[in-house]
Amino acid sequence: MRLTTKGRYAVTAMLDLAIHANDAPVPLAEISQRQGISLSYLEQLFSRLRRQGLVDSARGPGGGYRLARPASEIAVVHVINAIDENVNVTRCGGQADCQDGDPCLTHDLWCDLSNQIHEFLSSISLQQLVERRTVREVAARQDSRQQTIKYKAAGTERDFAVSS
Amino acid sequence: MRLTTKGRYAVTAMLDLAIHANDAPVPLAEISQRQGISLSYLEQLFSRLRRQGLVDSARGPGGGYRLARPASEIAVVHVINAIDENVNVTRCGGQADCQDGDPCLTHDLWCDLSNQIHEFLSSISLQQLVERRTVREVAARQDSRQQTIKYKAAGTERDFAVSS
DNA sequence: AAAATACTTGACCATTTTAGTTGGATAAAG
DNA sequence: CTTTATCCAACTAAAATGGTCAAGTATTTT
């Protein structure tokens, strides 16, 4: 099963994009700050997401990334697939040749599980996540924290508790 | 998500045990042959399975392992848990402190997925697997192949196609 | 045109995990 | 007392993970 930090980061970043998709493209530096993901790592991920047609990019000042489709038409599984993590828990990748060219004893079991996971992640769109109360709460917290960091960076004297 | 070869091997070995559980305990050497898993690796796995109370062991000639409970009372998820692979896909292991002590944006999503997987693997017992037609077919093939290997080892002249 | 901003690409790397191996100790059966 | 089998503890090569670093390319603002 390939579902690691990489895939989770990609989904998190795409969700951040969906949340902040109002008008202007979102630069990766902002996502990096809000989500605590290193900028260069995000660049790697978005390179793939763009090649897979999930996001559009805009260069230059004021540039950044945008969702290529409405959030309601992007399922979580699309993001994970784009990032090259397939949701298959079989050893053979579904080839049924796990044991010397023949299926192993538990081949079907892992196939069934893979299908379960795939269906589940297909059934959830970014839009649905955006609408969740818990997601909105976390996003609000992240936005305010980011704001305080901006103030701090600007050299304001006011003391906003940043990470306590 | 921790669901790798280790967990798959453990489930496969336990299923082999369930299939060949008639009277005598099953030695790991047989499972090793049938399932193509190295003996010493199996020993590691069964050490855990025994400590977790899923199997009973008998030493000495004629010894081996037995299921500690009826196959109908052992779910796949028990085996995977015993082997120390937890079916949790969150980064924080469900602690909800994925981002500096607070839940990350996608925390709930991964929790939901973890629950899905857990429920699925809880709903399937070794007994149910034993009764599957495909499993019985694979087991029959493995048994006959093992038989030919035994003949070969005994120095019989007859040529049984072993792995072609 | 210059500077600033942002994306692109590829190489690199430390750490952890995986999937075992090696080597032996212990126990029971014959 | 030898064989068969489990038990146990180190050790390890290779792969994957989760990034960083450096150098460059493209675009827009001023």
The tens digit of pLDDT for each residue in B17-76 reads 999 987 799 999 999 989 988 898 999 999 999 999 999 999 999 999 999 999 999 999
Residue B90 in this model has a pLDDT that exceeds 80: no
pLDDT (average), residues B109-131: 93
Tell me what pLDDT residue B7 has: 86
Interface contact flag, B163 A124, Cβ < 8 Å: no
pLDDT (average), residues A104-109: 89
Tell me the pLDDT band of A136, cut-offs 50, 70 and 90. Answer: very high
Q: What is the pTM of this model?
A: 0.84
Do residues A1 and B1 lie in contact, with contact meaning Cβ atoms separated by under 8 Å?
A: yes
Tell me the pLDDT band of A162, cut-offs 50, 70 and 90. Answer: very low
Task: Please report how many Cα atoms fall inside a 13 Å half-sphere around the Cα of residue B58, on the Cβ side.
Answer: 13
Question: Which value, to the nearest 10 degrees, does the dihedral of the CA atoms of residues B141, B143, B146, B150 take?
Answer: -130
N- to C-terminal Cα distance for chain A? 36
Q: B60: which DSSP letter?
A: S
CA A27 → C1' D27, Å? 14
Tell me if residue A26 falls in helix, strand or coil.
strand
Tell me the pLDDT band of A45, cut-offs 50, 70 and 90. Answer: confident
Distance, CA of A65 to CA of A17 (rounded, Å): 8
Sorted by sequence, the CB contacts under 8 Å of residue B28 that are 6+ apart come out as B39, B42, B43, B46, B64, B65
CA A153 → C1' C4, Å? 18
If you measure CA to C1', which residue is closest to nucleotide D4?
B61
> How close A80 gets to chain B, by Cα (Å)?
13
